[in-house]
Amino acid sequence: MLSPTPRAVHPGAWWLWAIGLAVAVSQTTNPLVLLLAAAALTLVVMARRTDSPWARAFRLYAVLGAVIIAMRLVLHVLVGLKWGEVVILPLPQVALPDWAAGIDLLGDVRLEGLLAALFEGLRLATMILCIGAANALADPKRLLAALPGALQEIGTAIVVAVSVAPQLAESVRRVHRARLLRGDSARGLRAVRRVAMPVLEDTLERSMALAASMNSRGYGRRGTTSPARHRATGALTLGGLLGLAIGSYGLLDASSPDWLGLPLLVVGAALGALGIASGSGAVVRTTYRPSPWRLPESLTVGCGLLAAAAALASTRWEPDAMTMPLAPIGPPQLPWILTAGLLLATLPAVLTPPPALTRDRTRRTTSTAGSHA
């Protein structure tokens, strides 16, 4: 372990690490690789999450992933394209009217098509688990403080959006604990009716408190800038976005000229950076205890980028191992380059400092030690 002193890792490092894993996962439908990626995410989260509300929401993302897999299978049975040779569930086929030509309800469910839907749903669920890992490891408030001033408004909206699930989870736990203390042990639909309104009320109160605290700290307030600087910032930002969009299209389209790909993408990124720097000067704010960026943060980002690079390398050098063989059905191969990248992605569990203890946990630890003494 590089730093045994407990401290919070920079939230941007966790998000870049998770994005690298999401890029790696998006390149494959191999169930072995997807399960390995989910295990790597879970290992790092279990080793480095705190006891904050957003850290405890990782389980909700896992449940959401399972729901997505189930919905993907149901949609395949209802309206999916049935292909393959092995029929596992014979169902009648219902033809839709002419305005929905090409779509049929039900039909014989075949093993190959069902497995393809399962692995596609597993890939999407693992990508959502990457977002859940970043949300569980990174403090959203510290992430907002670390964003450039020009991205303050959109950063505030994103932070509030990613904080909804953790806040709901915390509200559900608080309401459930209060019901148990009152002796209310109702279950089923009756419990849902009794829990829903207190949870919504508690979430609304927390949102109002967050809005009031942000307003008191000056979020959304801007300094005085000249109209010429406003126009220059808008032009740089718009030019950067256009460059990024056209450059990305040039990279994806093999028939486009060479200058339309990477060069235009680099120019767009440079213009966007200049626009962000110019817009940040118009925001007047102070940061209390800024998050440091040290060697553990760089190693964490490097592990995520190596996983993404390994996936791209496996796509080129081991293409057959990146997909599940379905025609005919066979055992999946293990792409060794991507497997090594995912194993490297687990290193932040030991390369980063442990999370700092909260007051409540410290108090509980101290009281437990005193009672044993």
> How many whole angstroms separate alpha carbon 237 and alpha carbon 332?
45
**Per-residue pLDDT, 372:** 38
333: in domain: yes
Q: Which domain covers residue 132, as residue numbers?
A: 1-148+295-359
CB-based contact 48:373 (threshold 8 Å): no
281: in domain: no
pTM (2 d.p.): 0.72
Average pLDDT across the chain, whole number: 77
134 shares its domain with 31? yes
Q: What is the pLDDT along the chain (373 residues), one digit of tens a residue?
A: 455 677 778 888 998 999 999 999 988 999 999 999 999 999 999 988 877 766 777 888 899 999 999 999 998 888 877 888 888 888 887 777 766 666 778 888 888 888 999 999 999 999 999 988 988 888 766 766 666 655 666 666 666 666 666 666 667 777 777 777 777 666 656 666 666 777 777 767 776 776 676 666 666 555 566 677 767 777 877 888 788 888 777 766 667 776 677 788 788 888 877 777 766 665 655 555 667 788 888 999 999 999 999 998 998 898 888 888 887 888 888 899 999 999 999 999 998 888 875 544 444 433 443 333 3
Pure H helices in the chain = 11-25, 31-48, 58-79, 111-137, 140-146, 152-162, 164-181, 189-216, 227-252, 262-280, 295-317, 336-344, 348-351, 359-372
13 shares its domain with 140? yes
> How many whole angstroms separate alpha carbon 316 and alpha carbon 15?
26
The overall longest dimension of the chain from CA atoms, in Å, is 79
Look at the chain and report how many structural domains it folds into. Answer: 3
The tokens describing 187, both together, are 């279950």
Q: Is 104 helix (H, G, I), strand (E, B) or coil?
A: strand
332 shares its domain with 245? no
> How many whole angstroms separate alpha carbon 120 and alpha carbon 71?
11
303 shares its domain with 265? no
The tokens describing 247, both together, are 């450059």
371: in domain: no
Look-up: residue for tokens 């850290």?
Answer: 55
**DSSP code of residue 329:** B
The tokens describing 172, both together, are 């559900």
**Per-residue pLDDT, 167:** 67
Burial class (CB in 10 A: 0-12, 13-18, 19+), 231: exposed
